[in-house]
Amino acid sequence: MALGNLILDETAQVTGLRVLSTDASGTEVEVSLQTTGTIRGTAETTLWTYTTLTRPDGSMLGGGQGVMTTEDGDGISLAGHGSGQAPPPGGTINFRTMLFAYSTSGKYSDLNSIGLAGEYDLSADGTGTNRCWEWK
């Protein structure tokens, strides 16, 4: 196993939050997110909805779905999962993620059968960065 080329480089903005549950297993929150950046150097915009569960020990587990549109009009469906540690108040969450893409576009169809290993960092103000590399 090895990481290959940088595939995705984005900035993010949280556009909505909704508490789904809070109980002994932790607090689950739904997050709406918009990202802009590049996929293989082509400009793109992605809309995401994901949930995070913050457990009593501070560990976080998340998963969700996104839809990406490139400046060339290509569409890419995304599914992702990640984990991290809840930061102190005002701190940045550092998620380590795996994304899985699907596209009918010939330009991106090779992504249909690989994983993208990533670093998704989200600040307390709702801004973030996302970078993903090909996992060979």
Share of the chain above pLDDT 90, in %: 98
Nearest to 74 by CA among 45, 105, 102: 105
CA distance 63 to 82: 6
Residue 89: the pLDDT is 92
Cα-Cα end-to-end distance for the chain: 6
pTM strictly above 0.85: yes
Q: What is the pLDDT of residues 8-37, one digit of tens each?
A: 999 999 999 999 999 999 999 999 999 999
Report the chain's mean pLDDT, rounded to a whole number: 96
Q: What is the pLDDT of residues 37-70, one digit of tens each?
A: 999 999 999 999 999 999 999 999 999 999 999 9
Does 2.40.160.20 match the CATH number of domain 3-135? yes
Per residue, the 3-state secondary structure of 85-105, as one string, reads ECCCCCCCEEEEEEEEEECCC
**For the chain, domain boundaries:** 3-135
